[in-house]
A and B are shown apart, each in its own frame.
Chain A
Amino acid sequence: MMKKLQRLFLISVVMCLSMPVWAVDEQQVQQTIEAAKSAFNKAVAEQGGWMSTKKLLKDAELSAAKGDQQKALELANQAKHEAELSYAQSTTQKQKWSEPAYLDQ
């Protein structure tokens, strides 16, 4: 039992460490980067968009070019999520912007 557990432990260590290598394929990364870019452009077209998203996109492309697909995917997903937040911000602001309340006091 002990030996079995030991072996299991080793196997799981190897599995965990090797996960990044087999978990992500390049095509998926490129698709996510493209999706993130189009979400970002949608926000910019609404006079929104955040500079941090621009950086995430650039870093995602750099990681992908260096072959670190796992990292690239993470960054691209983060960029996409941020782009969606910023798009939501710009559309809500178009409805909800206002002068500060203290101007009418």
Chain B
Amino acid sequence: MGKTITLVVFSVCAAITGVTATAGNADKDAIKEGKRLTLEYCQACHHYQGTEQAGTVAPPLLGMKGRFPDRKTLYNIIYDPQVAIKKDTMMPPFGRNELLAKDEIEKVIDFLYTL
């Protein structure tokens, strides 16, 4: 009985705090949220389809899935390009300095894969 109580309390709390709320329709929502994040964090430097005021300091983002078939490669670049690309790169370490949370980087990749 004690276990059941804990379980029920836990799952109700989880549902309320939204831990399980993102389960449905993840892809479409993730891509949409990913796009919003790129407009905030990426377009200042990168041009890609859908940018409104893109910068020119970094390469354009296109054919991303073809160029980075391994999701992990892209993740590592966004997480800390000083490790994944080169030490003196201008690109910010979005993951290491927590500008983007891990699940946000995943959503950004979901969107980048549509380019």
Contacts and interface: CB of A to CB of B under 8 A. Distances in A.
Interface in B10-44: 12-13, 16-17
Contacts of A11: 9
A95 interface: no
A101 B12 contact: no
B88 A101 contact: yes
Interface of A: 5, 8-9, 11-13, 15-17, 82, 85, 89, 98, 100-102
B97 interface: yes
B interface bracket (residues with beta carbon within 8 Å of A): 10 to 19
Interface of B: 5, 8-9, 12-13, 16-17, 86-88, 97-98
Nearest to B99: A52
B88 A100 contact: yes
B8 A9 contact: yes
Where chain B touches its partner, the secondary structure class is helix
Contact of A15 (B9, B87, B97): B9
A8 B88 contact: no
B88 A12 contact: no
A16 B86 CA distance: 47
A17 to B, nearest CB: 8
Given A12-B9, A101-B88, A102-B88, 16 more contacts: A8-B5, A8-B9, A9-B12, A11-B9, A12-B12, A13-B12, A13-B16, A15-B9, A16-B16, A16-B17, A17-B16, A82-B98, A89-B97, A98-B87, A98-B88, A101-B86
